Amino acid sequence: MTPIIRRMRPGEEAELTALLAAAYGHARFGPTVLRLAGMADAAIHVLEAEGALRAAAAVVDYGRAAYLGIVGTDPAMQGRGFGRRIVEAALAPVPAGRVILLDASPSGAPLYETLGFVDVDASVVLEAKGPVEAPPVPGLAPMAEADLPAVAAYDAAVFGADRTAGLTALFREHPAGMLCRRDGRVTGYGLRHPDRIGPVLAEDQDTAAALVAALSALAPAGPMTITVPSSHAAMLDHLRRREVPELRRLRHMRRGGDRHPSDRGRIAAMASFHLG
Ligand SMILES: CC(C)(COP(=O)(O)OP(=O)(O)OC[C@H]1O[C@@H](n2cnc3c(N)ncnc32)[C@H](O)[C@@H]1OP(=O)(O)O)[C@@H](O)C(=O)NCCC(=O)NCCS
């Protein structure tokens, strides 16, 4: 039977979540799939063969940059070209010349290299078992929904593209964040999910460390991952000195565009591997 490649349909979220759980070997994709399905700037492509979803990939097109994520093939059907075909289909609608970003796992990297992606730096996943202490800085306060426009504007200046939809979705799923303002100007912000810290963007390392400390002290207590660009050496060094262990690192890659849109040296923690 010839595989069909198409956009995911409403009602297929659970099947896609199960496919990604099988491909990646863990079952935490439910919120990600629902978030992407609800974002107007995201498109999820699926490959259907023998009556079931066998591969998937999503692109969030921010306008100035696009992000490729949730690339996965049913483990029973890998090595048949499904991964290549679904990635090509997901990238096809992205206008020529637009910079495309991704974070490659060891199994995905060879495919992306042949599609013209080149290394930028690493995205380092660490896991804190509890609060990561650091001195507080002036102007730090809990974030409210009303802060989202100011946060999204600051984020756009550092990330290099407008992530309003994704940041709003993240905050509404779990409204826990910290904002730092000095002289009325945003100098940093961060979001916390039950099992994750990020994004964290800040003007300087003291602010970034204070944000991570405050976010890591929020409920619920327990292990939380934080993904730090290797370009942010100060945050990696800070976490190592506090004995926060490294779990793994992915290859942050890009294709197209004249330059990387983000100031990765001011991104102390990424939002996710599908939002950047
Ligand atoms: C990455 C993944 C989607 C590839 O899916 P797939 O359907 O097996 O991919 P394809 O059959 O199209 O193979 C793509 C290319 O990658 C190569 N490749 C695939 N797995 C590889 C591996 N483990 N090591 C080296 N090369 C590999 C293939 O040789 C192929 O190259 P070719 O087209 O020049 O022959 C699949 O391995 C997967 O789901 N991995 C787990 C989830 C994951 O890590 N996703 C990527 C996140 S960035």
Q: What is the pLDDT of residue 148?
A: 98
| Distance of alpha carbon 74 from alpha carbon 56, whole angstroms | 9
> Residue 73 pairs with which residues in a beta bridge?
55
Is pLDDT at 1 greater than 80 in this prediction?
A: no
Residues with CB under 6 A from ligand 1: 23-24, 55, 71-73, 78-84, 104-105, 107-108, 110-111, 114
Q: Using 50, 70 and 90 to split pLDDT, how confident is the model at 273? A: very high
- Could you tell me the CA-to-CA distances from 108 to 3, 69, 105, 136, 202 in Å, in that order? 21, 11, 5, 40, 30
pTM for the structure as a whole: 0.96
Residue found under tokens 């650091």: 134
Centre of ligand 1 to C-alpha 78, Å, is 7
96 phi and psi angles, rounded to 5 deg: -60, 140
Residue pair 60/39 in contact (Cβ under 8 Å)? The answer is yes
Structure tokens at 154: 């600051």
| Closest C-alpha residue for ligand 1 atom 20 | 107
Q: What is the mean pLDDT of residues 94-112?
A: 97
Structure tokens at 88: 């090509």
Q: Which atom of ligand 1 is nearest to the CA of 75?
A: 39
Identify which of 238, 213, 253, 218 has the alpha carbon closest to the alpha carbon of residue 67.
253
Residue pair 167/42 in contact (Cβ under 8 Å)? The answer is no
Q: What is the mean pLDDT of residues 176-180?
A: 98
Centre of ligand 1 to C-alpha 4, Å, is 19
Q: What is the CA radius of gyration of the chain?
A: 18
- Site to probe by mutation for ligand 1, drawn from 84, 85, 100 as the one with most ligand atoms within 8 Å of Cβ, is 84
Q: Using 50, 70 and 90 to split pLDDT, how confident is the model at 26? A: confident
Q: What domains appear along the chain, each with residue ranges and CATH number? A: 4-95 (3.40.630.30), 126-248+264-269 (3.40.630.90)
Residue pair 64/256 in contact (Cβ under 8 Å)? The answer is no
Residue pair 91/100 in contact (Cβ under 8 Å)? The answer is yes
Residue 40 burial (CB < 10 Å; 0-12/13-18/19+)?
Answer: exposed
Q: What is the pLDDT of residue 251?
A: 98
Other Cβ atoms closer than 10 A to 183: 6
pLDDT digits (tens, 9 = 90+) for 28-59: 899 999 999 999 999 999 999 999 999 999 99
| Closest C-alpha residue for ligand 1 atom 24 | 107
| Closest C-alpha residue for ligand 1 atom 15 | 111
Q: Which atom of ligand 1 is nearest to the CA of 108?
A: 1
